[in-house]
Structure 1
Amino acid sequence: MKKVLLAAIICLAAQAVSAQTSFGIKAGPNMSFLRYKIEAGSENQTWDGSRLGFQVGGVAQIGIAENFALQPELLFVMKGANGVRPEMSTNDIDFTLMTIDMPINFIYRNKGFFGGFGPNLQFGVSSKAKSDGDTYDMYDEDEASFFIQKRFEVGANVVAGYKLASGLAFSLNFAKGLTNSSKYNDDLDEATIKHNSSYIGLSIGYFFGK
């Protein structure tokens, strides 16, 4: 009897969650920012740059209370920076990163408006640096030298938007990497390299069945 009752409760809970869950797609442009910070005693340098990119993927809203929901997303994101010029160099460097981002936002929603925040997990698919006509794979230690990168980065995401009754949705988000994604270690004496990226994204989406 207890097992039957437990199974019934689980089924009812699953149905309630399913009834409050909507799935959708989203896409739009972003502006990304990249920073390299090199610390070598008194020879510290900071390299900054930005570029226009995009993000596209799937999104869900899973209701957990009347006005609260989880909003996980799975996005393919292009980001990087153009025209970065290191000190003591005459050549600009263009960086192009392709990543899969998984923000998991805890959101508050009311009368179509929603907003919230949560962690963002990023996995690198491709990371290229182009300078003076040559292109380097920043995941390849033989090519990238001290630009070598880790594929995985942990960050934070903030999102706000509005969803119409028709299912059409508009959102703005800011995602920032919090961990050092530079894999460079000991090739420079008494030096450290820190690297992270961030982006602001504007998206248009559609939620099915809502």
Structure 2
Amino acid sequence: MPEPIPDAAIAAIVAAGRRMDRHNWVPATAGNFSVRLPAGRIAVTRSGVHKGFLAPEHVMVVDGEGRPEDPALRPSAETLLHCGIYRRFPEARAVLHGHSVANTVLSLHAGGEILLSGYELLKAFPGLPTHEATVAVPVVPNDQDIARMQQGLDARWDSLARSGTAIPPGYLIRGHGVYVWAETMDGALARLEALEFMLECALQDLQRRD
């Protein structure tokens, strides 16, 4: 019999959905969230559910390869991207995926990255005690083959690691949305809100220049 999902993990996921819904970052059934559990298990949102109205039964468990503990339940389609983050970044304990207007529009206009410089909220990223910095947020191609997309991400992280470049705890999928992660759900939410604020500023600047 599988271990039950800890109440704290369910509560964190449900609260994240409501908080992101208030910002209109998870329209319709968009978005997915997860929390790392002990023994290689991952609590993740089920597919096809509006994230602003999550209930405990909308959270399920998969293993590190995205396989459901209960085969009758279907996890979010992009669960493998959560698994990829947890494999790559041992410190990650929570992952959030949202779809804001700003991250979607900017990702369509960007090349392989979006540069954010001079914003006070850059301090939400690790290792940046001051706003006097630049963060390059990766923008990766969208792909309906999630396993292939994850392979591309792994290759990109490998390239950054070889060059000695710090890997930011977030990325955008072109025309699709954003992923962020942190050591806690509260940390992931704070990081997401900081990133979305900076992306909204960048979008408004782009619109003024056009």
| Structure richer in strand, relative to its length | 1
Provide the TM-score with structure 2 as the length reference: 0.25
**Of the two, which has the highest radius of gyration?**
1
Provide the TM-score with structure 1 as the length reference: 0.25
| Structure richer in helix, relative to its length | 2
